[in-house]
Chain A
Amino acid sequence: MTPLLATLYQILQMLLVLALAPLLTGWVRLVKARLVGRRGPSMLQPYRDLLRLLRKEVVLARNASWLFRSVPYMMFTAIWLAAGLVPVFTTQLALAPTADLIALIALLGSARFFLALAGMDTGTSFGGIGSSREMMIAALAEPAMLMIVFSVAILVRSTSLAEIADFMMAGAVGLRISLALALIALVMVAIAENARIPIDNPATHLELTMVHEAMVLEYSGRHLALVEAASMLKLLLYMALIACVFAPWGMATAGSGVAAALGGVVVFVAKLAVGGTLLALFETSIAKMRVFRVGEFLGGALLLSLLGAIFLYVSRGV
């Protein structure tokens, strides 16, 4: 594998995730609309929304500081970089040595930290509520995420995503309790992190229970476009992460040619379609939770991932 090709793949991956993220969100919205009997907007609607927002002027609150203005850029960059790190169609990426699960969590964590600060910056009560709730969710979701990483890392003996994908594709690991528990926990964390039902409702803008939307209520114009694009990227990132760790089949590996990489792109799009459909099915079949039960939900995820790590020591072949 030449460094040139690896760099090309890396650039392709960065562009691919950016191009596909709104499409994924549009797909989930379309499937949800169809499931409840509406026709729903076209899958391309999120692109149009983003373009419209980019063209609109930015309205800033009088007391907004530099932090408020710079957060959308920081957040978007961090999440875009994180989405570029997760191997989606090939494990031979130029940034593969840095594509570490813990680095990924750190990137997502810093994006969230800045967004929570921005939520409080303008001093509106809604922003404050959103930030404090987001931090409550984060305080529970991040330990669970780290526990999942530990289970997978102990099993694979690496936290590098490319190595994990290679290991899983080799099929040496078989069915494991720990992996099943980690998968369930990761799905629960992903639902909470992406502000989906039952934790938060992504389709609402004015509700007392909203979390993510409350934080970004003060944003407008290109800032809002960046924040929205970042949350779309985040959804794609979590799906790519689940696919990379638990279903990496179809990805190009070391030594395979360009054709395999292109095949990987097709398989990745198919995986996203399946993941989006499942998410839409789940969301339409469940009711939103009260905010105070989020703790139980994420506590459950933490405990499941903990159990997964414990069971590593009982099963054979660790």
Chain B
Amino acid sequence: MSDLGYDAAHMLGAVVLLMSFALLYQRRLFSLLNVFTMQALALTATAAWQAYSHGEPHLYITALLTLVLKAILIPVALHRIIVKMKIHRTIEPALGIGLTMVAGVSLVTLSILLVLPVTADATALTRENLALSLSVVLLGLLMMISRRNAVSQVVGFMSIENGLILAAVGAAGMPLVVEMSVAFSVMVAFIIFGIFLFHIRERFDTLDMQKIESFRGESD
């Protein structure tokens, strides 16, 4: 019943999901970035393990891309942005941390309920991987709507992309071209985000979304 291939893939996927929860729990920007790096490392390990256990060498490229882009480049760049712009280092969640966590667990339940009937005849690993990656995507969305700070919204966006890669790694037969294009589009998005952050900062003198919304006349 217990075979190592299944067990390890299962655990690594769970670590990625757990890191998503850890992202929701963080209150400081730098520790947020550290957790994000750890999530990327776990994702790298997942991809590398799948490449090794299923004998699919192209997944090694995915792992390498994740490692270089997500675990090294993006955290370092965000770190520099935070230091350079002298952003206030604590995060003020729009929703309380406890409520966010409850919402997170409900989202995980929702994604499991969604995935289970659809994949009734798939293998346990595929089913689980889909459930996990859908949860990571939903948690990333939750992170984007529950945080006021633009930098943590960017991290939320990046963790959505982590969920997509997790799904791609789990589903056998995702072509490399698709993965590459996803990775690079995220990179482009990141660059645009970076430029945006600087412009927002220049214009409004803050990265707090609630304050910026007042310029659109949305909040009072």
Contacts and interface: CB of A to CB of B under 8 A. Distances in A.
Given A181-B14, A303-B105, A315 B128 contact: yes
B11 A177 contact: yes
Interface size on B, as a range, is 20 to 34
A316 B124 contact: yes
Contacts of B128: 177, 314-315
A4 to B, nearest CB: 37
Interface string A288-315: 0000000110011001101100110111
Interface string A172-195: 111111001100100000000000
Contacts of B7: 174-176
Chain A contact residues: over half helix, strand or loop, or mixed? helix
A205 B10 CA distance: 45
Interface string B97-121: 1100110110011001001100000
Interface string A40-78: 000000000000000000000000000000000000000
Nearest to B11: A175
Please tell me the size bucket of the interface on A: 20 to 34
Contact of B98 (A171, A173, A184, A299): A299
A175 B104 contact: no
Interface in B125-173: 127-128, 131
Give the 8 A-B CB pairs with smallest separation, nearest first.
Answer: A174-B2, A316-B124, A175-B7, A177-B14, A174-B7, A303-B105, A175-B11, A299-B98
20 contacts: A173-B1, A175-B10, A175-B11, A176-B10, A177-B10, A177-B11, A180-B14, A181-B18, A295-B98, A296-B25, A300-B21, A300-B25, A304-B21, A307-B105, A310-B105, A310-B109, A314-B127, A314-B131, A315-B10, A315-B124
